[in-house]
Structure 1
Amino acid sequence: MDSPTPKRRLSCPDRESAKALRSSLILQPKGGSPLLMLSLEKDGCRVYNPADDTVYETKSDLSGYRFVASSGKWFLVIDSRMKLYIIDVFGEEERIDLPGLETFKGSHFKIERVGEDKIRHVAFRTLSRTDPSTAEDVRGRLWVEDKKGGDFVVLWLFERSNYIAFCKKGDDHYREISTRDGVLGELRGVNDMLLKGYDLYIFATRGFVRHLDLSPRHDGFIDVSEKHSFPRWLPPLSRDEMERINKYKIISCIESIAVVTSSGQVLIVVTYELTSKDRVFHLYKRDPQVLYPTTYDTMFVEVHSLGDEALFLDLGITVPADHTLGIEPNSIYFTRGDRIRHRQTSSLDICVFSLTTKTVKRYPCLDASNIKDAQWFLPS
C-alpha cells in the first residue's frame, strides 16, 4: 500500500499503550493482506490495517450500510431500507444493486414490506403474518469471482425462517433453499454456513453438514451431501482444559464450520470463551478410517495444526500463510462466533489465536475504540 497522507486523527483513549491512529484516504492495499472492516458506533466505517496499526477512511461514505459478508474486496451490505448491494470498498461508488427482498419466490410464504425499513412473511395458505424484521436481522454470505465482470452468488436468511434465499448474477429475484421441508431430519436448520465458490456448506442444527452445489450448470442447486457427516457429539476435552472451564465457567461456546482450501476438508471449529481475555479453539474432522456404511455414525479426530495455513472464521476458509502479507501460519483469525446465527452470549473479540503457542493476540487500541462490529477480509 502506498503511504497515505494523514487527514485527521481518530480518538484513541489508550494512547500510552498503542500507536496513534491516522485517518486518511485508503489506497489499494497489497493483495491478500488481512484487513478489518470496522463498524463504529458513532463515526461510520473504517478499515484497520494490522501491518501498520493504522485505521483508514474509505473513499466513499459507507456509514449508511451494515456489512453482512465479504468476498475479496467486495462486501454484501444492507441499508436501513432493507436494500441489499454488493460494493467495492476501495472503489469510487462502485456498487451492484441486488433484487429487493420482496422478490423472493418461496413455496410457503411471500415477503411484504412494512413501511420503508421493515419486512414480514405472509403464509400463502393462512395469510398469517410474522412479526416485522429489520436490517439487523439479516445474515448472509457472498462469493464474487476474482475477475472483472465475474459471476457472483448472494445468500441471505432471517434467523428463525425455514429457508435460505439466493441469487446469482443476472437474476431478478431470489430463489429458495428450504432448510426444513423436504430435507432429511439430520440436515435441517442452520447453525452456520459458508460459501466457497458455488459450493454451499450448511452446518445443520443437529451437527451434520449439508453440501449444496449452486453452479450454473444446475437449475437452482443440487444436494451433494455425503451420507457420512459430522455427529452431534464431540470428543472430551483434556483434563487441564476441563479444570480451566470449571474454574472460570464458560462465557460462551460457539460452533462453526470451515473448509481447508488445500484439500476441501470440512472442519468443525469450537471455541470456548473462558474469560474476557482467555479463549481456546479446537478443530475437528471426520476420521476417514472409521466409517459405518449402513449408518450415519462416524468418529471425530482433533486437528492440532493447520500447518502453513491460516483460518479466517469470518470467511469460513483457510488460506496459505504469507509473512510478506502479514498472514500468520497455523493461526485462527476471529472476531465473533455468531456471524450467521445470533447468540446473546457472543461478543466481539478481535484477535488472532496461535494453534502453535495456544496464545491470543489482540489489538489494544481497537479494544479502546467504540466499535460495534468488525470483520476480517482479504482483498484480492
Structure 2
Amino acid sequence: MEKGHEPSSPKRLRRDTPNSWSELPLDLLTSVFERLSFANFHRAKFVCSFWHSASRQIIPKQTSWLILFPRDNDNNNSCTLFNPEEKHKLYKTKDLGEEFAKSLCKATYGSWLLMRDPRFNLYILNIFTRERINLPPVESQLGMTKMERTIDDCFRIISHDHNMISREYIGLYIGPCVFWIDEKTKDYIVIWGLGRWSVVYSKKGDTSWNQIPEISDCCDMVYKDYKLYFSGSGYQCDFRIFDFSRETPQQTFQGIVIMQGLILNHRHGQPGYSHCTVSTKLVVTVNGDVLKVDRIWERKTRICRFFDVYKVYSSESLKNYEKVESLGDEAMLLDLGITVLANDIEGLKRNCIYFSGSLENIIHDKFIFNIETQKMERVHKLDCSSAQLSSARWFLPSFTQT
C-alpha cells in the first residue's frame, strides 16, 4: 500500500477531520440533536444553515413551560417564561405590545394564546413569532341569542328560549374557552361559553360566531382530537361530547354528571370541616377517559391543598364516579384539561397534577401536586409578583420546523 493511502497517516487524518462544526457528518449531527433538551435543540439549530437543515429531520422533544403575564401597570409588555429543566433561568418574550399587556389570556394551544382585550375583542397570538389572528366580533352571533355592542362597549344580549320568549340582559361574560390551531396551515377553531346563554364556535374563514344548538350555561370544556367535551353548570349537569371533524359539529354522547359538590357530600360533609371544593374541571386522558378533578382549598387560608380525581366517562359510557388513585405513567396538565405520557414531555413527573394559581385568592408558587404522596411540590421560587403568579399558566410551547 502506498504511504499516501495509509488510513493512519497524518495527511489522511487531516483530510477526514472536519474543519468546522458545520462539516460534521449528518448522521453524527442528527444523533446530537436527538439528545438535546427542548431549549438547547432550538438554540443549536441556529448555529449555521447546515445545522438548521439537519434539525428538520428530527422531531424535537416536547416540553412544558410556565408562562407569566405582564402586569397592566408595570410598563412591561413581555411574558416571562420558566422552563423547569433550567431552574435558575427565566426567559422573556419580545415586546408583545401595549394592548397585549392589557389583555386577558383565556386559553393556550402550543405557542398560541387566546386573548381577550379590554373591549372584549378576541384574538389568537403566537408569543414567539408575534403572528396575530383577529377573530370575529363577539357581537356577531348566528343563532337564537343576539347581541348588540353599545356606545360605551357594554353589551345588550337578547335571548330567545325554546318557547320563543325573549329576555334582555346587559353585560357580557366570556366563560370557559378552548381552541386548536394548525401550526402550518393556520386552520383553527375557537369555542367559548357565552355566559348562561349559549356555547359558540368559529373556524378559519368565518365572519361570525356559530351557536351550538341546545347547550348553554357552560361549566367547563376540553377540546382534543376534534372532539369537544362539554359540561354544564350546577349539581347535576349536562355532559356531552361533540365531533368537530365535519363541517358542522355532531353530538355523539349525552348524559348527566355531578360536577360540583361531590367531595362535600361523600367525604367532607361534616359540619365545620376545614376544607371545601373551590372548582371542578374536566380532564381527558391519553386513552380518551374523562375525569372530574376537584380542587380543594383550606377554608382558613384559602390556599389549594390537594385534589380529588374521579373517572366519570370511559368506553362510551358514564362511570359511577370511580375514585382515581393513580395516573400511572401519565401527568395531568390541568390548565389544558388533558393528561400526557410523562416520558414524552421533557421535565414532567409521572402521576402528578400540574396546575396554575389562576383562581382568585389562591396565590402561591408550588404548581405541582403529587398524587402518590398527596403533597404539593414547589417548581421553583420565582422572583415575581403575586399578581403574575395568580395568572400563570402551564403550556406546551412549539416551534414550526422551517
Q: Distance in 1 between matches of 2:148 and 2:128?
A: 34
Secondary structure in 1 aligned to 2:373?
coil
1:130 matched to 2:169? The reply is yes
Alignment correspondent of 2:339 = 318
Amino acid at match of 2:343: D
Q: Give the deviation of 1:130 after TM superposition.
A: 1.8
1:203 matched to 2:231? The reply is yes
Amino acid at match of 1:230: V
Q: Distance in 2 between matches of 1:158 and 1:169?
A: 20
1:189 matched to 2:217? The reply is yes
Alignment correspondent of 1:46 = 79
The 10-residue stretch of structure 1 (163-172 or 114-123) with the greater mean CA deviation from structure 2: 114-123
Alignment correspondent of 1:258 = 283
Amino acid at match of 2:65: L
- Distance of aligned partners of 1:110 and 1:242 in 2 relative to their CA distance in 1, 3 Å threshold: closer
Measured against aligned partners, the alpha-carbon deviations of 1:291-316 in whole angstroms (never above 9, x if no partner) come to: 8xxxx8x5221111111111111100
Amino acid at match of 1:199: K
Q: Distance in 1 between matches of 2:61 and 2:357?
A: 24
- TM score, norm. by length of structure 2: 0.70
Q: Distance in 1 between matches of 2:181 and 2:387?
A: 30
- Distance of aligned partners of 1:255 and 1:158 in 2 relative to their CA distance in 1, 3 Å threshold: same
Higher relative contact order (CA 8 A, sep 6+): 1
Secondary structure in 2 aligned to 1:322?
helix
Q: Give the deviation of 1:65 after TM superposition.
A: 2.4
Measured against aligned partners, the alpha-carbon deviations of 1:100-158 in whole angstroms (never above 9, x if no partner) come to: 11221121x31111236433313477876422337xx454111123x401421101223
Regions of 4+ moved over 6 Å: 124-127, 235-238, 245-248
Q: Distance in 1 between matches of 2:314 and 2:224?
A: 22
Alignment correspondent of 1:20 = none
Kindly indicate whether the alpha-carbon contact (under 8 Å) linking 2:289 and 2:313 is maintained by their aligned counterparts in 1: no
RMSD: 3.4
Choose 1 or 2 for highest CA Rg: 2
Alignment correspondent of 2:12 = none
Alignment correspondent of 2:63 = 33
Alignment correspondent of 1:270 = 294
Identity value in percent: 28
Alignment correspondent of 1:112 = 148
1:143 matched to 2:173? The reply is no
Secondary structure in 2 aligned to 1:224?
strand
Higher relative helix content: 2
Q: Distance in 1 between matches of 2:91 and 2:356?
A: 19
Alignment correspondent of 1:353 = 369
1:376 matched to 2:397? The reply is no
Q: Distance in 2 between matches of 1:288 and 1:83?
A: 37
Q: Distance in 2 between matches of 1:346 and 1:211?
A: 32
Alignment correspondent of 1:364 = 381
Q: Distance in 1 between matches of 2:121 and 2:257?
A: 36
Q: Distance in 1 between matches of 2:252 and 2:344?
A: 36
The number of aligned residues is 324
Kindly indicate whether the alpha-carbon contact (under 8 Å) linking 1:81 and 1:116 is maintained by their aligned counterparts in 2: no
Gaps of 5+ in 2: 1-38, 44-59
Kindly indicate whether the alpha-carbon contact (under 8 Å) linking 1:38 and 1:45 is maintained by their aligned counterparts in 2: no
Amino acid at match of 2:334: L
Amino acid at match of 2:192: W
- Distance of aligned partners of 1:288 and 1:178 in 2 relative to their CA distance in 1, 3 Å threshold: closer
